[in-house]
Chains A and B, each alone.
Chain A
Amino acid sequence: MYNFDFEKPTSVADAVAALAGEDAQALGGGQTLIPTLKQRLASPSKLVSLAGIADIKGVCMSDDGQVCVGGATVHADVAANAGSYPALAALACNIGDPAVRARGTIGGSLANNDPSACYPSAALASGATIVTNAREIAADDYFQGMFATALDEGEIITEVRFPVPEAANYQKFEQPASRFALVGVFVARFADGVRVAVTGASEEGVFRWSAAEEALSGNFSADAVPAAPGADGMISDLHGTAAYRAHLIAVLTKRAVAACG
């Protein structure tokens, strides 16, 4: 690690101010950032921990029935307290291991937008709103490719608002080594249609599988899931070819639909 300054503000305003400095970076649970620092792959001048800001931690229900998760809420908290959105709680419960879930945060996960991370699929399939210190961003506008998001420099995710679907399920097929998603599919059925978001598979990061959404919006059954999408643009690596990932998308979508009951 290189040297850096460290601040732990107790309000979003102070955090935003602290982040204004050159090369300052927000620190969530550090589950991604700290290994990066240890490998000397990043050299922020200052880390601003969000863990001291009580306002952006915890899970609650909004008046309009959305599940609101504070940006600095750890996965374990979501697993335990997002019972009104069971598929979301189940997803959080299956991220990493207990140590990771005790520290890693939803804000960190969405800000990082790892192409194999789980939360991005939940946010995108749910049509969530990513709330920051500056604005509200619709999930459809938020994810902009591998490790790329709509966030500006120094912008902090303070809350994520999830509309609760009538039925939803997340199917994660684990990469054998990291146990991130080799492919993960989140299916959410709302009164006005079905949303299907796929993580782990595409070189463009999380995406909506629109062919499946259309088919399932008409007929929400596993049999209605279309044939696997093409392998073009899918990730190919040690753990699976593009064709395999494309194949898994269809398999997992069917399973998710079946699990929705």
Chain B
Amino acid sequence: MPKDHGIGASPKRREDVRFLTGTGNYTDDINVNGQAYVHFLRSDVAHGKINGIGTDVAAAMPGVVRIFTGADFEGVGGIPCGWQVTDRHGNPMQEPAHPVLAQGKVRHVGDPIAAVVADTYEQARDAAEAIELDIEELPAVVDMKAALAEGATKVHDDLENNLCYDWGFVEENKDAVDQAIKDAAHVTTLELVNNRLIANPMEPRVAIGDYNRATDDSTLYTTSQNPHVIRLLMGAFVLGIPEHKLRVIAPDVGGGFGTKIFHYAEEAFCTFAAKAINRPVKWTASRSEAFMSDAHGRDHVTKIELALDKDNNFTAVRTETYANMGAYLSTFAPSVPTWLHGTLMAGNYRTPVIYVNVKAVFTNTVPVDAYRGAGRPEATFQLERVIDKAARELGVDPIALRRQNFITEFPYATPVAVEYDTGDYHGTMDALEKIADLSGFEARRKESEAKGKLRGLGVNCYIEACGIAPSNLVGQLGARAGLYESATVRVNATGGLVVMTGSHSHGQGHETSFPQVIAEMIGIDESMVEIVHGDTANTPMGMGTYGSRSLAVGGSAMVRATEKIINKAKKIAAHLMEAAEADIELKDGQFSVAGTDKSVAWGDVTLAAYVPHNYPLEDIEPGLEETAFYDPANFTYPSGAYCCEVEVDPETGKVTIERFSAADDFGNIVNPMIVDGQVHGGIGQGIGQALLEGCVYDEDGQLLSASYMDYAMPRADDVPFYNVDHSSQTPCTHNPLGVKGCGEAGAIGSPPSVVNAVIDALQSGGHDVTHIDMPVSPSRVWAAMQG
């Protein structure tokens, strides 16, 4: 029988009561007394020299409080980058300045030029239209390869060229890889694009700066996945405000998907301006602004080669990728195509040598950074596509080819610097084969053919490095921050608990799943546990939520703090029952003395801690509150096998997804329903990337997909019902919960199986099509079929 409580149960998400009844408290719901509104005047050209910004007329317009331009920020720091990549030759990446408001040049459509603060939002917008801009348009750099050509226009005049870095990984393996490819019995080559995406969380970004002149305290309310990170980056690097004078609050956040990790200029602006005008300043992005100012995702152009020996064993992988950074380096941008991508190129396979080359390129486009999966979807897509192509070229079954090359022994050190602790790739593939009903496929294909449709089946595996991550390791890799997580567990006198966590929940369901863990540990009801997050004033320093790290890292910190609580509570219980501490057992919320019928309840002990009349004051302090910081020893390595079945309408090229099956190994699972939901959502985004979503610029750097009229988000009827299985479980060996993280899996694991299925369908219809770039739109499929 499924559990109804604790770890493994699926209680309904308690946060959904407010989310589904319109009673959430999002940043835009917050209004600070006396607030003014800011409207950003943004560049409508991709690249230009600012000759002048005339603000006199605008400044005199009704309601205008003040107009800021780049000149107001000359003494202020720029938006920092949180990760420094070292190139193949040992040199640091080229790192351009990123001013809060443009200085000297505009570098992408949407680059903020001036900020108008007024009594109302409409007044600010009216005045912004009266600003006289003198901008001399420069040629835009959009295509990455063209950006690297000799003599290309430079996005940043003070840099040598548009190359951020040329990264080789593992550089020492390069010769061995070249040799292995020369010696191979077969080499499969694939050139592909990992399409640029716009995250489009339902809630656009919002920021409110507030300043208290009496105390010199600044507060920023913002739509962030990690308020402490924003406090650190903005306080230390941009505005020079020490942490104790700066509070960052990220209340309910309506979806992040990575794009709300980063520190954005608008946050720094509102905080700065609130002090400058001594009045709160609020900004709410319109959807159009979100399209041209939220960091975009993906955007890789890759050539991958897979070498095999005569027995079809993989012998080497070599890749060359161009990764778009956009016009500036967003917070974690440099890490995405490198450490979150190159380290995953072994996938689930025993390839002995691997070489990954990545050229990161500046272009006149919106900055690109982590988006759900971040680097790992790009790695998975190219590897799983090239394996499929190899299977077709060699005439072998794609599942058998994968199985033959699976890693089977753990721990396994890959040639790309990571060590997988656990996994069972055959087990996960077995689970997939069951739920995907592979044996019924031929019959389903016949049914489709009878309707005039081509049916295809595509499979892929994935591996991801999650639970990001060990601080010392990421430090060596260039991170300018640690990646631990923290929790303070406060037990109240009457026994209820409050957990203050550095993990941030913006839809993941922490308020439901985290209490399940504590309920299990103490043996009390989940309703006795409350989760507090999102405010630097009342939570310990934490790094926030991304990289599927909340339960694996934040949850582990909470476990460690709760262990400390239980240890102390046992001491109190021992005192109350006049027994030895070593004999105290905790079960179902009762402390008992082993071998006796003596017991005290959890609530008796917590009350004693705060009303310490009968209490060992000479040995322990009163109160019951503990903090723990947890820094994992390794990443976690969730893995899985996915299967997609599509129908292609050969007349129109339209692809519909008929079945989708996902078998994942997430290690131990706390709330199976929430895990299912995370997988469903991730697959939805993966299908979006595979079939629908594409962010497109024209050659002048104008954003063509600038609204939902042209940027296709997946809708309910674009996705099928999913078969999801997580029965294959190899617990993580190095965190106390044995969990691996499930937040990104769906988005990482699904695009290759969709495209593999489309290729399978087309080939079954006699079309010699080996690849179609995403999004695999009807028009692209049709064009591919025309040859």
Q: Which residues of A contact B (CB under 8 A)?
A: 1-2, 39-40, 173, 176-178, 182, 238-241, 244, 247-248, 251
Chain B residues lying within 8 Å of A2, measured Cβ to Cβ, are 126
| Bound form: Cα–Cα A241–B783 in Å | 9
Chain B residues lying within 8 Å of A241, measured Cβ to Cβ, are 779, 783
> B652 near A178 (CB under 8 angstroms)?
no
In the complex, per-residue mask of B692-736: 1 if CB is within 8 Å of any chain A CB, else 0 = 101010000000110011111100000000000000000000000
> A177 near B708 (CB under 8 angstroms)?
yes
Q: How far is the CB of B779 from chain A (nearest CB, A)?
A: 4
| Bound form: Cα–Cα A110–B466 in Å | 53
> A178 near B709 (CB under 8 angstroms)?
yes
Residue B68 CB within 8 A of the other chain = no
In the complex, per-residue mask of B756-787: 1 if CB is within 8 Å of any chain A CB, else 0 = 00000000000000000001011100110000
Chain B residues lying within 8 Å of A182, measured Cβ to Cβ, are 778
Provided the pairs A39-B288, A241-B783 are in contact, do residues A248 and B652 lie with their beta carbons within 8 angstroms? Answer: yes
Q: How far is the CB of B672 from chain A (nearest CB, A)?
A: 33
The 10 A-B residue pairs whose C-beta atoms are closest, nearest first, are A177-B712, A240-B779, A176-B712, A244-B779, A178-B709, A251-B651, A177-B710, A176-B692, A244-B782, A238-B696
* Minimal Cβ-Cβ distance residue in B for A97: B715
Chain B residues lying within 8 Å of A39, measured Cβ to Cβ, are 288
> A176 near B122 (CB under 8 angstroms)?
no
User: Which of under 10, 10 to 19, 20 to 34, or 35 or more describes the interface residues of B?
Assistant: 20 to 34
Q: How far is the CB of B204 from chain A (nearest CB, A)?
A: 14
Residue B125 CB within 8 A of the other chain = yes
Chain A residues lying within 8 Å of B651, measured Cβ to Cβ, are 251
11 contacts between A and B (CB under 8 A): A1-B122, A2-B126, A173-B654, A177-B708, A178-B710, A182-B778, A238-B704, A238-B710, A247-B782, A248-B652, A251-B652
User: Chain A: interface secondary structure?
Assistant: loop
Chain B residues lying within 8 Å of A1, measured Cβ to Cβ, are 122
Q: Which residues of B contact A (CB under 8 A)?
A: 122, 125-126, 129, 288, 651-654, 691-692, 694, 696, 704-705, 708-713, 775, 777-779, 782-783
Q: How far is the CB of B453 from chain A (nearest CB, A)?
A: 14
> A176 near B778 (CB under 8 angstroms)?
yes
Q: How far is the CB of B521 from chain A (nearest CB, A)?
A: 47
User: Chain B: interface secondary structure?
Assistant: loop
| Bound form: Cα–Cα A238–B775 in Å | 11
Chain B residues lying within 8 Å of A173, measured Cβ to Cβ, are 652, 654, 778
Q: How far is the CB of B202 from chain A (nearest CB, A)?
A: 16
| Bound form: Cα–Cα A178–B775 in Å | 15
* Minimal Cβ-Cβ distance residue in B for A38: B286
> A238 near B694 (CB under 8 angstroms)?
yes
Chain A residues lying within 8 Å of B692, measured Cβ to Cβ, are 176-177
Provided the pairs A176-B692, A251-B651 are in contact, do residues A239 and B779 lie with their beta carbons within 8 angstroms? Answer: yes
Q: How far is the CB of B349 from chain A (nearest CB, A)?
A: 34
> B782 near A176 (CB under 8 angstroms)?
no
| Bound form: Cα–Cα A1–B125 in Å | 9
> B711 near A177 (CB under 8 angstroms)?
yes
Interface centre among B125, B653, B711, B712 (most CB of A within 10 A): B712
> B782 near A177 (CB under 8 angstroms)?
no
Chain A residues lying within 8 Å of B654, measured Cβ to Cβ, are 173
* Minimal Cβ-Cβ distance residue in B for A180: B709
| Bound form: Cα–Cα A248–B782 in Å | 10
| Bound form: Cα–Cα A39–B706 in Å | 13
Given contacts A178-B708, A239-B710, 5 further A-B contacts (CB under 8 A): A177-B705, A238-B710, A240-B777, A241-B779, A244-B653
| Bound form: Cα–Cα A239–B776 in Å | 11
Chain A residues lying within 8 Å of B122, measured Cβ to Cβ, are 1
| Bound form: Cα–Cα A251–B782 in Å | 12
> A238 near B783 (CB under 8 angstroms)?
no
* Minimal Cβ-Cβ distance residue in A for B129: A40
| Bound form: Cα–Cα A169–B711 in Å | 29
Chain B residues lying within 8 Å of A176, measured Cβ to Cβ, are 691-692, 712, 775, 777-778
Chain A residues lying within 8 Å of B777, measured Cβ to Cβ, are 176, 239-240
* Minimal Cβ-Cβ distance residue in A for B694: A238
Q: How far is the CB of B778 from chain A (nearest CB, A)?
A: 7
| Bound form: Cα–Cα A241–B781 in Å | 12
Chain A residues lying within 8 Å of B694, measured Cβ to Cβ, are 238
| Bound form: Cα–Cα A182–B709 in Å | 12
> B125 near A40 (CB under 8 angstroms)?
yes
Q: How far is the CB of B131 from chain A (nearest CB, A)?
A: 14
* Minimal Cβ-Cβ distance residue in A for B288: A39
Interface centre among A178, A238, A247 (most CB of B within 10 A): A238
Chain A residues lying within 8 Å of B711, measured Cβ to Cβ, are 177
| Bound form: Cα–Cα A244–B783 in Å | 8
Q: How far is the CB of A76 from chain B (nearest CB, A)?
A: 19
| Bound form: Cα–Cα A248–B713 in Å | 23
Chain A residues lying within 8 Å of B778, measured Cβ to Cβ, are 173, 176, 182, 240, 244
